[in-house]
Amino acid sequence: MLAPKKVKYHKMQKGKMRGIAYRGSSVAYGDWGLQSMECGWLTSRQIEAGRVAISRHLKRLGKMWIRVFPDKPISKKPLETRMGKGKGNPEEWVAVIKPGRILFEVGGGVDESVVHEAFNLAAHKLSVKTRVVTREAVIG
């Protein structure tokens, strides 16, 4: 389960998920990337499930990079608790995802159909719509 080792504040506000991702929106390490098409929260369990799905399908072919990390704590109050009495304790960790963010990357000479199938398996584990993108050829 992914979670930060140390954080400055243990509880965080919800925040807004407006706009598109400018940072982390291009394929940087591999040849293929799984890009989000909508905003949302990815829990540490979803990210881990996607990682396992991709790595199991690729077996030992190529290399995989995880481009998101769950660094936002989500607090929940216990069941059947009355209103008030302060904010609940942190229960899980999420990564804030905006449209255009690259979630996973694969590289190292892997066949296109194998990558598409691996990303399709991972996309079923995630809570945001995704698409497969390639590294654009940079000219100049």
Domain residue limits, the chain: 32-75+88-134
Cα–Cα distance between 48 and 51 in angstroms, integer?
5
**Per-residue pLDDT at 138 exceeds 70:** no
Question: Averaged over 17-37, what is the pLDDT?
Answer: 92
Question: CB–CB of 134/35 below 8 Å?
Answer: no
Burial letters for 65-98: b for 16+ Cβ neighbours within 10 Å, e otherwise? eebbebebbbeeeeeeeeeeeeeeebebbbbbbb
| pTM (two decimals) | 0.90
Contact 102, 27 (CB under 8 A): yes
Q: Does position 1 have pLDDT exceeding 90, yes or no?
A: no
pLDDT tier at 130 (50, 70, 90 boundaries)? Answer: very high
Q: Does the structural domain 32-75+88-134 have CATH classification 1.10.3720.10?
A: no
